[in-house]
Every structure is written in C-alpha cells, then in structure tokens.
Amino acid sequence: MNQNTADSETILRGVLDGWKAAVDKHQPDQVAAHFTDDAIFQGLHPYSVGRPGIAAYYESQPPGLTAGYQVLETRRLSDDLVLGYLNVDFSFTDRPTINVYLSTLLKQTGTGWTITFYQVTKLDQNTTGEDPDRPT
C-alpha cells in the first residue's frame, strides 16, 4: 500500500468511525454532522441534499440499527478530496442484515473532513454468487 492510499484510508476511517458511532447510537443529528451542508445523500430511499434530509433518513431507521464497514478502495483525488468504496452491513434487532456497497466522497473544509457525497448500492446475488442482472 503506498503512502497516498494509507493516508486516504486513515482520513476515510476517521470520518466513517464517527458516522458509525452515531448510527449505532441512533443519533440522527450527529450522523448528519459528518456531512457537508450541501451533501448529496442516497440511501435505500429517494435521495436528499443537505443535513436535514440526512438526519430525517436516519431518524426513520429503527432503534438498534448498527453499521459495520470494510474499506475496499480509496483514492486521493486532490489535496481536499478522498474517494472511498466500502462494503457495509446494516444490522437490525428484528430482521436480517442488509449488505450494501457504499461510494463516498469526503471533502476537507475549514472544520475538517466531511462527507459531500454518499451513495449505497444493494446488489442481490443468486446462490452461485453471480449477479442475475449482469449481462453475460
């Protein structure tokens, strides 16, 4: 791993560890605080722009929801932008875990690093592990 990748992953984990802690504690306003004021946010519901929509999204999630993530890739796009691609498990107390892939873009501002773009993708796979919607 080169230094640029290691630094990018450190930045990404620094932000996402705080995001995860707020998700796990069901603190929607704290979750939203990890985003820029004008962040584009796409969870598993229609997208929103800005912290109020993000807070509302996480407020609608059931208590007991937790997030676990694995960093798959990072790229330092510029001095103030870090791209991250992750695998995330959202676990519930009363239903099966949802596994998604998260693409996120972090931006460095005067107050530190925050998420400016967040998009999850849920890939359904058949029992062979292949994507049924992928053309062959």
Domain edges within the chain: 3-121
Residue 37, SS3 per DSSP: strand
* pLDDT exceeds cutoff 70 at 133: no
Architecture of domain 3-121: Roll (3.10)
* C-alpha to C-alpha distance for 135 and 87, rounded to whole angstroms: 23
pLDDT digits (tens, 9 = 90+) for 63-102: 999 999 999 999 999 999 999 999 999 999 999 999 999 9
Mean pLDDT, range 91-116, rounded to an integer = 96
The tokens for 9 are 């992953």
Tell me the pLDDT tens digit for each residue of 7-25. 999 999 999 999 999 999 9
Residue 1: pLDDT band (50, 70, 90) is: very low
pTM of the model: 0.86
